[in-house]
Chain A
């Protein structure tokens, strides 16, 4: 049995081998390995599981390859709406935040909410006020936005004007 172990993900979706160039695959592999190494280093040194989680996720939040933090996808209005959650297994304390657009590392806010202990889930302006009160780094929304995600939003909006695509999107988005 392993003394410590860790698993990470950077999202799942319609990834096709055809669309993945060797260069792009190498970029993703290197980014994932760096994040995994950051978490493993904490655990190898005897650190806590929750610190390993933070080491991994703050790294991925700063990497524009992934849909979290910088490089997140854009909302219909062209902004960002970031969410994060955190839980520890020994006490089952938990924290979560939704609808953020200024907190650089949403995972740190989720952890701060958990450690504060008054609530589990905060959203929007109130969550950002809480983040500011706890000294978490704030950035302009523009910091999160990348040209790749802006292009994706433009394509998404254009598709809404195509009757056939709009129909398909509508069918696809019946989540409730």
Chain B
């Protein structure tokens, strides 16, 4: 008969011990086979904290081989899971959050004073004792960049098919369809006609969904801002490029609808506290294009107003929009060649880029500012659903 020995619980020092032969199981249960939904309701970035506590124990026992092995297996495991789920926004953002958190932990508990300024005394006790993991921090930073790029690619892939119809074709302002240029009226503005048309609401719903996932998974707010700045840039570039190539949308009414759509997007950013992200600034060329469509285009004063307003559009882009501009009806005149020449003369001193279209694939460089956590390792609870009972709390 088994005798249960009551032993006095020792204080948990925030370290996790495991046998070397269990490393593969640890990586399988915590990385490659883990489903983010399993961790709903737990502390965000739990896998990163668990991995740090395992690294800390290997450091505490001065076992450099174990530290090397665990970090290498972790990084390879994350890469494997990303490859397998390369079109899954939730999985990709989950591992971006966790990789960044592990990177922050390796800084926060590195023992470097520069990273310890916000640590409590208890957190300082949880610093690494033997090893300097600076080189592994570089690897995790490089990996974070790769994951970020995958995340943007997935989000862009979802949004891209919606942009043209939502930003340029869909008419949400009542009565505007009556003032569309003659001959270019849309065949049907119904959403139920089976074509790939989207309204702006669809883009906003999708961005709400992205934002909720990123916040729930505890991604750093600075990174979330960079994600939306990048997505707004893409919306700007795809919309403007289409405008620059399509006569039917270069009209006063599209300008009005476009300005309204952009204001809805700006409002969404404010509502989600993302207005400091620089996202609106990336929309500036499109904002100016919408205004250009609405401005008068006749007199010398009109030309001056256009030139002083359209500072984020190149001369080539301004001229192209003026050339494509389609009058609403027989009462509105086309833009005259003389007016376009006046604009060109006024702008000739500008040193504008030569290409007409924006690079919709352009990516802003991403930064991962250090973001220490106020959590202490000894307060972290490992849920049974992770099947990590082979980890011993030390």
Answer yes or no: are A and B bound together in one complex: no
Residues of B at the A interface (CB closer than 8 Å) are none
**Which residue numbers of A lie inside 8 Å of B, CB to CB?**
none
